[in-house]
Chain A
Amino acid sequence: MTLISEQQLPSIVKRLAHQILETYPGLTNAVIVGLQPRGVYLSDRIVAALHNELPANQVQYGKLDITFYRDDVRRDLHLAKATDLPFSIEGKTVILIDDVLFTGRTIRAALDALLSFGRPSKVSLCVLVDRKPSRELPIQPDFTGKEMVDITPYKVKVRWKENDGVDDVILLVD
């Protein structure tokens, strides 16, 4: 079952980029941080869309891996991907980007991970899909591509051309 089609996805990415710019004009004192591994596909697209609106040097873009901060890190083996934050986040607004907001536990870990780089003045969250009814922690997004209102027994799978050959979001029987 398709949740977001290949035709819809570019419009949603463009809308998210514009909503971010509307809230943080010119990205003054704001930085973009994509979450490894799969949030980075979305943040890459959003940053590309932002580059159409702003000079490249106004878009500060980093990637954050949260593996070592997970609350289930010792249940199974998790392997880390690269973290690359080539700027200070001290006193900045950090816009975190991830593909699916599900239980909220990844974002909880991401907040911990961010704090080891400094003290941002504000952290805001942008996601492609918000599985709102499945939340286990009090965490909400500020920018949402698509919100799911019902609890579903399905797995939400975001597919990206770079990795999966197609751009869309589908529901899979888990």
Chain B
Amino acid sequence: MALTTKHLLGIKDLNSEDIQLILSTATQFKEVLQRPVKKVPTLRDVTIVNLFYENSTRTRISFELAEKRLSADVVNFTVSNSSAAKGETLLDTVNNILSMKVDMVVMRHSASGAPHYLAKHIDAAIINAGDGINEHPTQALLDAFSMQEKMGKLAGLKVAIIGDIMHSRVALSNIYLLKKMGAEVMVSGPPTLIPTFLKEAMDIQIEYNIDKALAWCDVANVLRIQLERQNQPLFSSLREYNLAYGISMNRLNKLNKEILIMHPGPINRGVEMDSDVANGPHSIILDQVENGVAVRMACLYLLTGRTNPA
């Protein structure tokens, strides 16, 4: 059984078997990462370029580690010190890189749809590492892996996605994935940061009262306020956002149950989440980061071309 897609552009294009295959393969890679020697020779004949047109710490390091643990050759491209700064088009840049015998492209871009455009014009497999406000599929997969690891299952799980839904590719990928795997999804945050069409388009619940959302959910996936993507004020101040929607110990203590706290990083401490919550016993934020490497190894492994395709 192989993936039904050649590229990983978004969770939207995957079916539930694809997602299950990636998650179960990631389980085996997570075991590999516990060994004294964490490297396997699997992709030693594969060259991968990490094409980052937008800043990233976690995702870029995570992909690079995943590629190196699989023995692939890795080339890193960051836009700030490249010819893209001289006006070269995206397609020209990529075709030039591919002509140097590169097999796979991992790509982050601030424009939604950039990897989809590229996929129409090149043969190499593309993994979307985040495109604008569209999707961030590997983040959703590592979130799902982490939830499944802690809660035992995804089906029937109640997941609240909280914060800046409007500007979040993590939110959209998570919603697609959780719906496909049979989880219940609610989004919560200020009305100015939640597109109302989500309710009908994605069949999910919208709850503007954060305390009600927390009381409903098993898992709270808290998103970063993306100030860099907001060109108009959508809430009055960071302090007011924190008071109205920030996840505090006080809020969690009022619940008569324990919930899992997640965040894709980077955290604005004291804005969407307080430090004592981020560092607290219910937070699995660093587990998410650890699992990211195994999940990305699984995606790379399953998407590398076969030399003898069936």
Interface residues of A (CB under 8 A from B): 65, 67-69, 73-77, 79-84, 112, 115-118
Tell whether B25 is near chain A: CB-to-CB under 8 Å. yes
Query: Are B310 and A76 in contact, with the CB atoms below 8 A?
Result: yes
Query: Are B41 and A117 in contact, with the CB atoms below 8 A?
Result: no
Query: Are A69 and B40 in contact, with the CB atoms below 8 A?
Result: yes
Given A77-B302, A81-B28, check contact A117 B35 (CB 8 Å).
Answer: yes
Given A68-B41, A116-B40, check contact A76 B308 (CB 8 Å).
Answer: yes
Q: How far is the CA of A82 from the CA of B28 in the complex (A)?
A: 6
Residues of B within 8 A of A80 (CB): 25, 28
Tell whether B192 is near chain A: CB-to-CB under 8 Å. no
Q: How far is the CA of A69 from the CA of B307 in the complex (A)?
A: 16
Cross-interface CB contact of A76 among B31, B35, B306, cutoff 8 Å = B306
Query: Are B307 and A112 in contact, with the CB atoms below 8 A?
Result: no
Query: Are A82 and B31 in contact, with the CB atoms below 8 A?
Result: yes
Query: Are A116 and B306 in contact, with the CB atoms below 8 A?
Result: no
Closest CB in chain B relative to A47 CB, distance in Å: 21
| Chain A, Cβ-Cβ closest to B297 | A68
Residues of B within 8 A of A117 (CB): 35-37
Tell whether B39 is near chain A: CB-to-CB under 8 Å. yes
Q: What are 22 A-to-B residue pairs whose CB atoms are below 8 Å? A: A67-B28, A68-B301, A74-B43, A74-B306, A75-B306, A75-B307, A76-B308, A76-B310, A77-B302, A77-B310, A79-B21, A81-B28, A82-B31, A83-B28, A83-B31, A84-B31, A116-B36, A116-B37, A116-B38, A117-B35, A117-B36, A118-B36
Residues of B within 8 A of A75 (CB): 306-308
Q: How far is the CA of A118 from the CA of B35 in the complex (A)?
A: 9
Residues of A within 8 A of B2 (CB): 77
Residues of A within 8 A of B310 (CB): 76-77
Residues of B within 8 A of A115 (CB): 37
Query: Are A77 and B28 in contact, with the CB atoms below 8 A?
Result: no
Closest CB in chain A relative to B106 CB, distance in Å: 18
| Chain A, Cβ-Cβ closest to B309 | A76
Tell whether B200 is near chain A: CB-to-CB under 8 Å. no
Residues of A within 8 A of B42 (CB): 68-69, 73-74
Contact digits for B281-310, partner A, Cβ 8 Å, 1 yes 0 no: 000000000000000000001101111101
Query: Are B41 and A77 in contact, with the CB atoms below 8 A?
Result: no
| Chain A, Cβ-Cβ closest to B41 | A69
Tell whether B228 is near chain A: CB-to-CB under 8 Å. no
Residues of A within 8 A of B305 (CB): 74
Query: Are B36 and A79 in contact, with the CB atoms below 8 A?
Result: no
Residues of B within 8 A of A118 (CB): 36
Q: How far is the CA of A117 from the CA of B34 in the complex (A)?
A: 10
Residues of B within 8 A of A73 (CB): 42
Residues of A within 8 A of B74 (CB): none
| Chain A, Cβ-Cβ closest to B298 | A80
Query: Are A116 and B31 in contact, with the CB atoms below 8 A?
Result: no
| Chain B, Cβ-Cβ closest to A81 | B28
Cross-interface CB contact of B307 among A74, A83, A116, cutoff 8 Å = A74
| Chain A, Cβ-Cβ closest to B28 | A80
Residues of A within 8 A of B304 (CB): 74
Closest CB in chain B relative to A43 CB, distance in Å: 18
Residues of B within 8 A of A81 (CB): 28
Residues of B within 8 A of A77 (CB): 1-2, 302, 306, 310
Tell whether B118 is near chain A: CB-to-CB under 8 Å. no
Residues of A within 8 A of B1 (CB): 77, 79
| Chain B, Cβ-Cβ closest to A109 | B41
Closest CB in chain A relative to B307 CB, distance in Å: 5
Q: How far is the CA of A84 from the CA of B43 in the complex (A)?
A: 23
Closest CB in chain A relative to B99 CB, distance in Å: 22
Residues of B within 8 A of A84 (CB): 31
Interface residues of B in 1-22 (CB under 8 A from A): 1-2, 21
Name which of A67, A77, A83 has the most chain B CB atoms within 10 A of its CB.
A77
Since A68-B42, A74-B45, A77-B302 are in contact, a sample of 9 more A-B pairs with Cβ atoms closer than 8 Å, ordered by chain A residue number, is: A69-B41, A69-B42, A73-B42, A74-B42, A76-B306, A82-B31, A83-B28, A115-B37, A116-B38
Query: Are B39 and A116 in contact, with the CB atoms below 8 A?
Result: yes
| Chain A, Cβ-Cβ closest to B2 | A77
| Chain B, Cβ-Cβ closest to A90 | B36
Q: How far is the CA of A80 from the CA of B306 in the complex (A)?
A: 16
Tell whether B183 is near chain A: CB-to-CB under 8 Å. no
Tell whether B32 is near chain A: CB-to-CB under 8 Å. yes
Cross-interface CB contact of A79 among B25, B32, B37, cutoff 8 Å = B25
